[in-house]
Amino acid sequence: MNDMKRLYLTETLARVLIQHALDAAPLETCGILTGIGDQVREVLPVRNTAAAPRHFYRLDERQFVSAVFEAEKRGLSLLGFYHSHPDGEPIPSPVDVAQAAYPDMPYLIVGLKNQTPRLAAWTIRYGQVGPVDVFVGLPGTPAHNTKPPFTRTHRAAILLSGLLAFIIMIILSLTLLPPAPVILTPLP
């Protein structure tokens, strides 16, 4: 809340992101953004290992860790995550919200609804979704903000996502509980 997150992307990187999303459609693509400060320098795709990649994404853990490690060798750090919604708006889905494990990282989404690519980024802190300003262009020059104009419907969708995510988190935590001990009654 106090520090509004922002991300700067060059036009080339924004085009690369959109191209990754288009190439992967109808599946979701995913990966990481690396750079310095709030300047994205690289868009690194990571394999989507979700069981249903048309509707979900899950970064291949090993590829993710090694991509971050390699980027750090080049002096770049992890700045955020990205994935696509092949037929949706760039708004976090309830599952996106429930699974977001990095409260301080921007989650950038490429939405391809109606063949109109749109980018938006969000912070997802324990079920709370907040907008991140995404600027395409060079910092210090008149960059255009890509934040889509959010209507009342969008805001309602975000609130609903948060609510559903909360429910999903409860379900997930229940399914992750160890099974109840089997009580054996001793034979007489």
Question: Site residues (CB under 5 A) for Zn ion?
Answer: 93, 96
CB of residue 96 vs Zn ion: minimum separation in angstroms? Answer: 4
With tokens 């979701």, the residue in question is: 28
CB of residue 82 vs Zn ion: minimum separation in angstroms? Answer: 10
CB of residue 84 vs Zn ion: minimum separation in angstroms? Answer: 8
Copy the structure tokens of residue 38. Answer: 């709030």
Show which residues are catalytic: 28
Nearer to Zn ion, 96 or 124 (CB): 96
CB of 85 closer than 8 Å to CB of 113: yes
**Per-residue H/E/C for 28-72:** CCEEEEEEECCEEEEEEECCECCCCCCCCCCECHHHHHHHHHHHH
Copy the structure tokens of residue 142. Answer: 């008149």
Residue closest to Zn ion when measured from CB atoms: 96
Nearer to Zn ion, 41 or 48 (CB): 48
Copy the structure tokens of residue 66. Answer: 């090694």
Within 10 angstroms of residue 134's Cβ, the number of other Cβ atoms is 26
Nearer to Zn ion, 76 or 108 (CB): 108
CB of 99 closer than 8 Å to CB of 34: no
Within 10 angstroms of residue 169's Cβ, the number of other Cβ atoms is 16
CB of residue 4 vs Zn ion: minimum separation in angstroms? Answer: 22
- How far, in whole angstroms, is CA 56 from its chain's centroid? 11
Nearer to Zn ion, 15 or 55 (CB): 55
